[in-house]
């Protein structure tokens, strides 16, 4: 249902239809699931808050508990902080690639199997890109990799 406002109220109301959130984990290491210190978690959360505020105008963050089951059947329960941001469609289109590139960086830097990204109520688990192993690369493949690197 669309919200209908009178002219006075409409003139002083901002419509921010794009809802998105990053789930900031309190662990590091895909297999070890080592808990990080509070200051490290705080730095992670503040980095996400600053990024979302810069690109979309603001954030709301909530502490929560998240969990999942490892391949070996072990239940992992961890503290997380969900940092939510609302923005305009224009801001989302403008910053979409920057956002997903940053999620990739966070995933690699935080040593995560994936980062939880929520968009319009749907959760996406985004795995960071795999590192290219130190092996021989054909000239054609090298050209593609260099071209893709320049785009970032």
What digits encode the pLDDT tens for the residues 57-82? 999 999 999 888 877 888 878 999 99
Q: Is 142 domain-assigned?
A: yes
Q: Looking at residues 16-28, what average pLDDT do you find?
A: 95
Q: Is 85 domain-assigned?
A: yes
Q: Looking at residues 106-127, what average pLDDT do you find?
A: 94
Q: Is 7 domain-assigned?
A: no
Q: What is the CATH number of the domain that holds 105?
A: 3.30.70.120
Torsion on CA atoms 124, 127, 67, 116, rounded to nearest 10:
-40
Q: Is 9 domain-assigned?
A: no
Provide the whole-model pTM: 0.79
Q: Looking at residues 85-91, what average pLDDT do you find?
A: 97
- CA 84 to chain centroid, in Å, comes to 10
Q: Is 3 domain-assigned?
A: no
Q: Is 6 domain-assigned?
A: no
Name the domain count of the chain: 1
Give the pLDDT of residue 130: 81
Please indicate whether residue 125 or residue 29 has the higher confidence score (pLDDT): 125
Q: Is 8 domain-assigned?
A: no
Give the pLDDT of residue 48: 98
Nearest to 101 by CA among 55, 42, 152: 152
Is residue 38 scored above 80 in pLDDT? Answer: yes
Q: Is 55 domain-assigned?
A: yes
Q: Is residue 111 exposed (0-12), middle (13-18) or buried (19+ Cβ within 10 Å)?
A: middle
Give the range of the structural domain holding residue 89, as residue numbers without chain letter. Answer: 14-151
pLDDT band at 132, cuts 50/70/90?
low
């Amino acid at each position: 249902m669309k919200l209908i406002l009178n002219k006075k109220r409409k003139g002083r109301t901002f419509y921010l239809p794009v809802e998105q959130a990053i789930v900031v984990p309190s662990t590091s290491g895909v297999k070890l699931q080592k808990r990080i210190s509070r200051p490290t978690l705080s730095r992670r959360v503040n980095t996400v808050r600053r990024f979302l505020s810069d690109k979309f105008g603001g954030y709301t963050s909530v502490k929560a508990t998240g969990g999942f089951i490892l391949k070996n059947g072990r239940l992992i329960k961890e503290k997380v902080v969900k940092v939510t941001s609302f923005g305009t469609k224009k801001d989302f289109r403008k910053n979409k690639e920057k956002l997903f590139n940053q999620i990739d960086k966070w995933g690699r830097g935080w040593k995560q199997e994936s980062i939880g990204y929520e968009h319009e109520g749907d959760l996406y688990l985004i795995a960071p890109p795999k590192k290219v192993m130190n092996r021989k690369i054909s000239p054609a493949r090298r050209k593609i990799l260099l071209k893709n690197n320049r785009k970032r």
